[in-house]
Chains A and B, each alone.
Chain A
Amino acid sequence: MEQILTLAANNLLSPIILSFALGVAAALARSDLSVPEAAAKALSIYLLFAIGFKGGVSVSAHGIDAKLGLTLLAGVILSAALPMVAFGLLNVMTKLSRLDAAAVAAHYGSISIVTFVAATSVLESSGIAAEGYMVAVAAAMEAPAILSALWLISRGGDGRRMDSDLWREILLNGSIVLLVGAFFIGWATGEEGLAEISSFVVAPFKGVLCLFLLDMGLVAGRGLRGRSGALSPGVLAFGLLMPVVGSMFGLGAGLLLGLSTGGVALMMVLSASASYIAVPAAMRVALPEANPSIYLTLSLGVTFPFNLTLGIPLYVAFATALTGA
């Protein structure tokens, strides 16, 4: 317990979390502080490239083992199964309609790549190694949850169609293409490639992450300020409980697969995080009647800050304690 509290305290006082807190505070105080849209996009491109590249280099250094395929499969199963758990919890804890509950559930099966990036940064700072291919697992966990949500809706007699354009948008969205592409570049070029561009992808990483999270804080704060009325106490409680429940599924999968401490922690983070980019876009197309104020505010305004501040240190501490590292 002491270890968890120490890790949580260290995490809360890191420049990364304090930058996020500054963004939230500025938005709640109605400051005009803002990060230009194009700059925020550039920061996210940098982070996705760097994290994908470093993951590929790590795989090239350590080689591929049988666990890679199994971990990818586990990620896909978790992504498909967690919406069922979320849907069940929402039915018990809230009065959301079937449509809204399914849309929210989809977000909790998919992942937040920014939470994943922040978690890898915390692991690096703590000197905890993780399997490089967890980047690929993150990419594989984006889409299955959307299918689960549509299946949940179709069980209620309301069949929804996924058109080919939507499939393409989900599977080839820019974040996935960049993350997986950079992963393969890192894998192909290995340590030599990293040495060539390390001054770009390694040294500035945390500083860029600080600026990006400042922007995310501003967005989350504005969302909370403008849309918090959309969340009932039950929905709010779900947004705090579901990441912990999801992380336990990730913990079980990570331990069963025999992942390293960092790998288990990242599997927990992936299972705990909720999407706020890919899934909202898919839900607007496939389930336009579902209320975006609920699912966006919940995933970005409640679960994302929770994971960033308390969740990540909690998951890392659990993974450390249970893998005996």
Chain B
Amino acid sequence: MQTHQAKRVEITIEAIMQSRLSEALIKAGVTGFTVLPVLGGSGRSGAWVRAGEIGRASGMVQVICIVRAENVDKLIEAAFSVVERHIGVVSIVDCEVLRAERF
């Protein structure tokens, strides 16, 4: 089966910022992304688990976008304008997709 090269951008960000990030991505022309809940983790601000949090202040979510390589800079620029000052991780990996016309 033929596959096509693409970039997978994973943005782990505070839940409170998710709607702002989604808006920025849509404005930047990103046509699709997936938001996943994060159950817990550990970082510079210490360990946490979702079950131990109250409210949305300290929970995290992960936003996953798969885009063509030529669109990745625009995406990262839009995402960074939102996440720059906040807790989170942005990573980019190469991936392969089956239906290139969808990305």
Contact = CB atoms under 8 A, between A and B. Distances in A.
Interface string A268-289: 0000000011101101110011
Interface residues of A, number: 26
A222 B50 CA distance: 11
Interface of A: 34, 37, 165, 216, 218-219, 222-223, 226-227, 230, 276-278, 280-281, 283-285, 288-289, 291-293, 296, 300
A296 B51 contact: no
Q: By DSSP majority rule, is chain A's interface helix, strand, loop, or mixed?
A: helix
B46 A165 contact: no
Best-surrounded residue of B20, B53, B54 (most CB of chain A within 10 A): B54
B54 to A, nearest CB: 5
B103 interface: no
Given A284-B16, A285-B16, 14 more contacts: A37-B50, A226-B48, A227-B46, A276-B54, A277-B57, A278-B55, A280-B57, A280-B58, A281-B56, A284-B58, A288-B87, A292-B58, A296-B58, A300-B54
B97 to A, nearest CB: 33
Contacts of B19: 165
Interface in B14-48: 14, 16-17, 19-20, 45-48
Nearest to A163: B20
B102 interface: no
Contacts of B50: 37
A177 to B, nearest CB: 15
B86 A288 contact: yes
A278 B16 CA distance: 11
A34 to B, nearest CB: 6
Contact of B85 (A34, A165, A223, A288): A288
Contacts of A280: 55, 57-58
Contact of A281 (B48, B52, B55, B86): B55
Nearest to B48: A226
Contacts of A289: 85
Interface residues of B, number: 22
A34 B52 CA distance: 9
Contacts of B20: 165
A284 B14 contact: yes
A276 B52 CA distance: 13
B58 to A, nearest CB: 6
Contacts of B49: 222
B56 A291 contact: no
A219 B57 contact: no
A296 B46 contact: no
A293 B45 contact: yes
A283 B53 contact: no
14 contacts: A218-B52, A219-B52, A219-B53, A226-B52, A227-B46, A230-B46, A278-B55, A281-B55, A281-B57, A283-B57, A284-B14, A284-B58, A285-B16, A292-B57
A156 B78 CA distance: 30
